[in-house]
Structure 1
Amino acid sequence: MALVVVVAGAWFGYQRLSGLSCSGELPLVVSATPEIAPALQSVADQWQVDGGAVDDTCVAVQIVASDPVDVAAVLAGQHGVALAGVGQASGTAVAPDVWVPDSSTWLLRLSSLAPGFSPTNNESVARSPVVIAMPEPVATTLGWPDQQLTWTDLLQQITTGINLRTGIVEPTRDAAGLSGLLALGAAASEAGENAQQATTAALRTLATGRSALREDLLARFPRSADPASVASSLSAAALSEEDVIEYNATEPPIALAALYLEPAPMSLDYPYAVLPGADPAKAAAADGFFELLNEVAFRDQLGDRGLRASDGTWGTGFSAPQGAPSPAGTAPATIEPESGGTAAGGLDPVVIDRALATWTSVTLPARMLAVIDVSGSMLEPVPSAGNATRADVTREAARRGLGLFDDSWALGLWIFSIELDGEQDWRELVPISPLSSQRATLEASLAEVVPKQGGNTGLYDTSLAAYRTVQDGWAAGRVNSVVIFTDGRNEDDNGLTQEQLLAELAEVADPQRPIQMIYIGIGDGVSQQELEAVTEVTGGGVFVTEDPANIGDILLKAIALRPTTGG
């Protein structure tokens, strides 16, 4: 009888501890990037067998394998923001209770735009260093595996050499591509006076070999051991270590080497993000599931799938690429956009915005009319820019932007105040035409961006005229846009009223031939509400900075966030 009592007591205790006595069902939807989803599914299945529960209610964890870009699109839509390059959500993606993307940069990009997006936990559950993947014969010519290469070495190879065919997965949609872009950008920034030239050259080289999907990029590596095939195929791309392991597991004719360049680029860190709005029961279930991801069993599950544990070491079953260090990769990221100015492994979120904006401006063909305010207030000095005038700062931003746009762009330039050309408030300096034939003309014309003493701001008449001009020459296959730089409100008493401007734009706007109106407001005299009333009719966006010294970054950000549909 004593034995029976002990056994019965043990069984009752096991039931209480394991939750086998639970009833009902509490669903917990976890959306995870595809490479980690099977490991999470194994843990979820075992937890269900063991009777995982919250307050005696059984937890049913549903793991949904989803590309991070698809979930990011859903969440951006929920919060009324647009992530550069992400586009609209697909019909199949859903907002989960817990999101495990491949990188904290997704969380950072969302939280920096949408204050209401504030997920909790955010701890890393796995890691995969970002490497440069190269066919082994190509890597050998660069000294692999004995020589330690740097990002500066790679930058020199891709901008001055002829032997490397480089590629990248679209960095606005792929975290490993973004990491590689940031690392190359940091290397280029060390080129001193030639930094912009080095950056532009690197991005244009990458852009010639970019792919929208990782699978497409991987398919461009050599499919034959024939030297001619190796020479004509993709020879270098920023990918995750897990990508290389998975690729080599298929036993391709030419295996890929994983080059761990210094300084180490931002790793994929697989954050466990409990999304805002979860009720207390689901939040408790999410916490319970997370605890299981700190156990040895999960580390081994990760190893079987080519992933490291969050500390950069690996469990059993991990097939390390030749030369792989352990631990490896950067520390897990933080996602708070106000965490002392740094985030995502020590990166300022502004750095990510700038990198993506520069990438977009360099690689996205467009047809644009730039319109610069030359009213009297543009003579106001800017203390943060060494007391250069607002016009000086704007001219310099335009000159730098011009250096980023390649010859596929078509660009025109106007200036405006009031009565610059008879009773007309604007004057055309250069008509919209290909940069390939008028880059020097445009740069020289910037010298004519000179403020008119005492001139007012004829904003409304100019806006309508610029819109109609771009519409008259609308080009398919490009983003057609008007970019207006202004430091004030409409001050033309003899021109259109706001009501008349909005009515005219609503009448001429054609959804089949979209034109983005982009306003870049300079200083504290701009009414953002006034400008947003226009872009609500036309599409586009309003970007205002009280410090005109920031106008260069604002210009890049404005260009990067242009919708690309329809154009």
Structure 2
Amino acid sequence: MAIVVVLAGSYYGYQQLSDHKCTGSIQLNVAAATEIAPAVSSAAQRWVQDGANVNGTCVAVNVQAMLPATVASAVAREHKVTLTGLPAAPADAAVPDVWIADSSTWLLRLKSEAPGFTPTDLKPLAQSPIVVGMPEPVAQTIGWPDKKLGWKDLLGLLTTNTQIRTGTTDPIRDATGLSGLLALGQAAGAGDKAQALKVGALRALAQGASNLKPDLLQKFPQSADPNDIATSLSAAPLSEADVVSYNAQKPPVPLVALYMEPSPPPLDYPYAVMPEIEITKSSAAEALRSQLQSSSFKDALATAGLRAADGSVGTGFAKPVGAPAASPAVTAAANSAGSAAAGLDASTLSQALGSWAAITLPGRVLAVFDVSGSMAEPVPTAGGATRAKVTQGAATQGLALFDDKWAVGTWLFSTDMDGTKPYKEIVPISPLASRRTDLQNAIAKIVPKKDGNTGLYDTVLAAYKNVEDTWQPGKINTVLLFTDGKNDNPEGIKQATLIAQLKKLNNPKRPVRLVIIGIGNEVDRNELQTITSATPAGGVFIAEDPAKIGEIFLEAIANRTGAQG
């Protein structure tokens, strides 16, 4: 996650700047994804040499090649939020004035966690389609180049073909991996069978996952030996530029770029001017943007294996076999702000990342389910199934998604569940590897208690204490509470007592995440947000349509800071 390299400190030639009669200095700091940084740096250097200035004030441009995940962590740190799976940014990773990430999905993820993050411009500078990279001999065995494959075909290969070894870059840290994950999820469709298919595909991808792109590429065959090819990586979602760059090194086994159908949104390299920068820097950023429209910049992109924003290519582009020309749809998208996130929203990203996190990130969660009488209410959008039944379905799907590295416990709550206690432990937090069957059986006990009320405050406090008392390092320790109502327990503690106790329990060395999922429109959003705001991490997620509780559950798993939605 460290800074890769400083490409250019274009503080070049102040004696030249004086020849152009500009005075003073505006220092513009630009962080760019590693593959596009050389082209941006060259354009900036030419501009400086030609006397870059804004209203007579000289402009110096410093372009750094930085991993998008590193910049995202730095932005998150500035806004006091976190993104799932990303470690803290290095101390020397500062937020730039302009950020050119490889995908606008980074911006969408940050906006969902930090509403105050409002960068401007956002129009794409370049484009690279998402493909599936595959060693040429392997591609030939599945009919390349004559046979056209779809993401559903790849989904089948992932789950049935034992000869195909698949991998991906971590979707939490890499936009290419995220695009592939979204495409596979869309191909799987909806329903129980689709969910099982998706889980199988994600587990197959996770076995060959890498945090960084260079590590993933090293898993492809390093010799033409048939045994090496058979035991190396067979397929992975990549960008077209990744394939071009890989093949430019003349490897013993070149990669083929499979252009899958339907085509997922490409990497789009949005030009994001950071919020709250000085107005002089904002003007300099706008002036630099105009320098990145020339034919020489387009040719520099081609050298890096990148297309222009409209999908066309400059001189020297090494087009892979079967590569399409720019499509009208892509060209239209290039004129909008953030084409890689076009048609996506934060919840879609969160659901995909939540699925991945459940499979790959170790965690401990105490799942606490409301069984008050109102959970017997039917849900029209779920065929009349009760709220409890819908919750059972979401819990079953979630449990199937969690990897054996997780530890899970189950409580139920209403009123008078265990003597006068409003809660009852069904299964203590236990490793899924040994107690998955017990936890599956516990889900069937999410049955409404006739005339039961909602002992919310006492339950939250007891659950929080339980997770903190059993806290384990190296894992996300979470209370995940589902409720469809407000606190209704005259014999229990008051809200002020709960808030005071939660604040007293806060221990930075043993952080516990408190997440509350509200079911239906009878919950009190303010009440739930008041509770979670007393803890250092967590949030409130509302499934106004209880039929969508499964989607909300995945969002809750993905979002580390919490969301109010």
Determine the structure 2 residue equivalent to 1:412.
409
SS at the partner of 2:127?
coil
Amino acid at match of 1:205: A
Deviates more, 1:307-316 or 1:451-460: 451-460
Q: What residue identity is the alignment partner of 1:362?
A: I
CA contact (8 A) 2:532 2:540 kept: no
Deviates more, 1:376-385 or 1:360-369: 376-385
**Separation in 1, partners of 2:188, 2:350:** 17
Indicate if the aligned counterparts of 2:33 and 2:65 stay in contact, CA closer than 8 A: yes
Q: 1:303-346: per-residue Cα shift (whole Å, max 9, x none)?
A: 11211111212111222223322236945468879xxxx98233
Question: What is the DSSP-based 3-state SS (H/G/I as helix, E as strand, rest coil) of the residue aligned with 1:121?
Answer: strand
Q: CA deviation at 1:504?
A: 4.5
- Pick the aligned partner of 2:467 from 470, 480, 485: 470
Partner of 1:375: 372
Q: Which amino acid aligns with 1:514?
A: P
Paired residue secondary structure (2:179): helix
Give, in angstroms, the shift of residue 248 of structure 1. Answer: 1.9
Aligned mates of 1:334, 1:490 — CA distance in 2: 50
Higher radius of gyration, 1 or 2: 1
- Number of the residue aligned with 1:555: 553
Checking the alignment, whether the CA contact within 8 Å between 2:367 and 2:410 is kept in structure 1 is: yes
Q: Which moved more, 1:150-159 or 1:103-112?
A: 103-112
C-alpha contact (below 8 Å) 1:111/1:335 kept by paired residues: no
Task: Compute the RMSD of aligned alpha carbons.
Answer: 2.7
After TM superposition, the structure 1 = structure 2 runs for residues 44-83 of structure 1, keeping only pairs within 5 Å, are 44-83=44-83
Match of 1:459 in 2: 456
Q: CA offsets, 1:124-170, max 9 Å, x none? A: 11111111111222122122223222111111111100111111111
Residue 216 of structure 1 corresponds to 215
Q: Which residue matches 2:198? A: 199
Q: How does 1:11-30 map to 2 (within 5 A)?
A: 20-30=20-30
Question: Partners in 2 of 1:283 and 1:506 — Cα distance?
Answer: 41
The aligned residue for residue 396 of structure 2 is 399
Shift of 1:529: 4.6
Give 1:19 shift. 9.2
Equivalents in 2 of 1:124, 1:510: separation in Å?
Answer: 43
Matched, 1:429 2:426: yes
Q: CA deviation at 1:83?
A: 2.6
Distance in 1, Cα, partners of 2:207 & 2:512: 26
Letter in 1 for 2:422: D
Question: Which residue is equivalent to 1:253?
Answer: 252
Alignment of 1:288-303 (within 5 A): 288-303=287-302
- For residue 267 of structure 1, what is the aligned residue in structure 2? 266
Q: Taking every aligned residue pair, what percent have the same amino acid on both sides?
A: 51
Does the 8 A contact of 1:128 with 1:241 survive in 2?
yes
Matched residue, 2:242: 243
Aligned match of 1:133: 133
What is residue 360 of structure 2 aligned with on the other side? Answer: 363
1:442 maps to 2:420: no
Amino acid at match of 1:326: A
Take 1:334 and 1:352, find their aligned partners in 2: how far apart are those partners? 22
Pairing partner for 1:494 from 479, 491, 494? 491
Cα distance in structure 2, aligned partners of 1:90 and 1:425: 45
For structure 2, the 5+ residue unaligned runs are 1-17
Q: Which residue of structure 1 aligns with residue 109 of structure 2?
A: 109
Mapped to 2, the partners of 1:531 and 1:284 lie a distance apart of 40
Query: In the aligned structure 2, how far is the partner of 1:377 from the partner of 1:333?
Result: 49
Cα deviation, residue 466, structure 1: 2.3
Contact kept, 8 Å, 1:127 with 1:308, in 2: the verdict is yes
Amino acid at match of 2:133: A
The answer to whether the Cα contact below 8 Å between 1:19 and 1:53 also exists between their aligned partners in 2 is no
Residue 370 of structure 1 contacts residue 412 of structure 1 at CA under 8 Å; is this kept in 2?
Answer: yes
CA distance in 1, matches of 2:298, 2:322: 21
Cα distance change, pair 31–254 in 1 and its aligned pair in 2 (3 A): same
1:89 match: 89
Q: Is the 8 Å Cα contact of residues 170 and 177 (structure 2) preserved in structure 1?
A: yes
Deviations 1:385-407 (A, max 9, x none): 44543323322221222222233
Identify if the C-alpha distance between structure 1 residues 510 and 30 changes in structure 2 by more than 3 Å, giving closer, same or farther.
closer
Q: Distance in 2 between matches of 1:305 and 1:336?
A: 23
1:188 aligns to 2:188 (yes or no):
yes
Would you say the 8 A contact 1:343–1:349 is kept in 2? Answer: no
Q: Is residue 326 from structure 1 mapped to residue 325 from structure 2 by the alignment?
A: yes
Give the letter for the 1:181 counterpart: L
Partners of 1:334 and 1:422 lie apart in 2 by 64
Q: Quote the residue 1:11 is aligned against.
A: none
Q: CA deviation at 1:383?
A: 4.3
SS state of the match for residue 70, structure 1? helix
Task: Provide closer, same or farther for how the CA distance between residues 139 and 45 of structure 1 changes in structure 2, counting only shifts above 3 A.
Answer: same
- 2:410–2:429 contact (8 Å) kept in structure 1: yes
Q: Secondary structure at the match of 2:25?
A: strand
Q: Letter of the aligned partner of 1:118 in structure 2?
A: T
2:542 maps to 544
My pick for the range that moved more, 355-364 or 522-531, is: 522-531
Distance 1:403 1:290, change over 3 A: same
Alpha-carbon contact 1:528-1:542 (below 8 Å) kept: no
Give the number of equivalent residue pairs.
Answer: 542
Deviation at 1:494, TM superposition (A): 2.8
Tell me the CA shift for residue 301 of structure 1: 1.0
Shift of the alpha carbon at 1:472? Answer: 4.5
- Report if aligned partners of 1:334, 1:344 keep a CA contact under 8 Å in 2: no
8 A Cα contact 2:310 2:334, kept in partner: no
For structure 1, list consecutive stretches of 5 or more residues without a partner in the other structure: 1-17
Rounded to whole Å, the distance in 2 between the matches of 1:242 and 1:179 is 15
Deviation for aligned residue 1:556? 1.1
Note if contact 1:105-1:335 (Cα within 8 Å) is conserved in structure 2. no
Equivalent residue number for residue 10 of structure 1: none
Pair 333,556 (structure 1): closer, same or farther in 2 beyond 3 Å: farther
Deviates more, 1:146-155 or 1:385-394: 385-394
- CA 1:536–1:89 in 2, change beyond 3 Å: closer, same or farther? farther
CA distance in structure 2 between the partners assigned to 1:385 and 1:151 by the alignment: 29
Please give the per-residue CA displacement for 1:179-234, whole angstroms capped at 9, x wherever unaligned: 111111111117x6521111111111111111111111112122222222221111
Q: Tell me which residue corresponds to 1:5.
A: none
Work out the CA distance in 2 between the residues paired with 1:453 and 1:334.
57
Give the partner amino acid of 2:319: A
> TM-score by structure 1 length?
0.88
Is 1:485 the counterpart of 2:487? The answer is no
TM-score by length of 2: 0.88
Cα deviation for residue 62 of structure 1 reads: 1.7
SS of aligned partner of 1:203: helix
Is the contact made by 1:417 and 1:455 (CA closer than 8 Å) also made in structure 2? yes
Q: Is residue 103–residue 340 contact of structure 2 (8 Å, CA) maintained in 1?
A: no
